[in-house]
Homo-oligomer: A and B are copies of this chain.
C-alpha cells in the first residue's frame, strides 16, 4: 500500500489540488475556479469537494478486484493546505488573506480534520512552495534554502537545517519587505524602499512606464496595458528599453540576494514566479551584482537557481509538509 497526501494550493482564482506520493510526484490533479469574493462556506465546500473526489477515486481504485493486473492500492494519509495570507501561530486558522477578503479567522484545519477524520496541515503558501522545492525540487540536496517568489509582489520562504523557519509569530520570510534603499519609493506595505518596491513585476512595470515618459523609445507603447510579460516578450524581441529594465530588475534582485547571503548564508537560493521567464536576462545581472558586492566566503558555494517545480511547488509542498509532520517523508 502506497501512502499519498492531498496537497491543496488555495488561490484567489483557482484552487489547485494534487494527489502527491511520498517522493514528491503528483499522481493526479484537480482544479476548480473560485470567486475570491465568495463566502468562506462556498470556498470551503469547494475544498471539501476536491478532497472527496480524491478519496472516492482512491477507494474505487482499491476496490477494483478482478483477474487482471491490479493497480497498487492507494492510501491517502492526510491533507496539506497552502494558503496565502496570515496564519495563526499554531497553524490552525487563516486569520486573514488578501486574496480571499471574506476569509477572516477561518479554522480550516479543524474543519478539514473533523470532516475527513484525517490529519491536516495548514501552511502559508510561500512556505509551502519553498518546502516543495526543498523536498522535491531545486533545493533537494540542500539543508538550507531561501526561496523568492517574484510576481506581483515578492514572497519568501526560508529553510534552515532541513526545516521551514516560520519565525516566532509565523511571519518570517517577508523578504520582499526588506529595505534596500531607506529613502526609496513607497511600498504597498506602507514602508519605503522595500526590495519589492524595486523588483516585483508591479515595480518593473512602474519603472518601465517612467522610462517611456522620460522619452526612451521602445517597441512597447504606454497604452496602460504594459505588463511584465509584455516587457519580457519585447526584450526577447530585442527591445532595448525592455532589456534595460529587466537588467535593472536583476541588479535590484542582486542587492537583495547579497543581503540574504550575508545574513543567512544559505546553500541554495531558489527564484520562482512569473518573472523567471526572463531567464538569463534576469540571472546574469543578479550574479554580476553579487560578485561585485558580496563577500566571497558568503557566495562562493551558494547556488542561485530557478525553480524546478514551477506552479506545482505549492501543491507538492503542502502535501510534503503533511508527510513530514507524519514522519513519512524527510
Contacts and interface: CB of A to CB of B under 8 A. Distances in A.
A301 B172 CA distance: 13
A258 interface: yes
B169 A259 contact: no
A293 B178 CA distance: 10
A171 B261 CA distance: 9
A167 interface: yes
A178 B262 contact: yes
A175 B298 CA distance: 12
**Binding site of A, secondary structure by majority: helix, strand, loop or mixed?**
loop
A157 B252 CA distance: 26
Given A168-B302, A189-B295, 20 more contacts: A86-B297, A142-B168, A158-B263, A161-B163, A165-B264, A166-B265, A167-B298, A169-B265, A169-B298, A169-B302, A170-B265, A172-B263, A178-B178, A178-B259, A179-B180, A179-B255, A180-B180, A181-B183, A191-B294, A259-B259
A229 interface: no
- Chain multiplicity (copies): 2
Interface of A: 86, 142-144, 156, 158, 160-161, 163, 165-175, 177-183, 189-193, 252, 255, 258-260, 262-267, 293-295, 297-298, 300-302
Contacts of A260: 263
A167 B255 contact: no
Given A265-B171, A298-B169, A259 B179 contact: yes
A260 B300 CA distance: 23
A258 B191 contact: yes
Contacts of A182: 180-181, 252, 255
A16 to B, nearest CB: 26
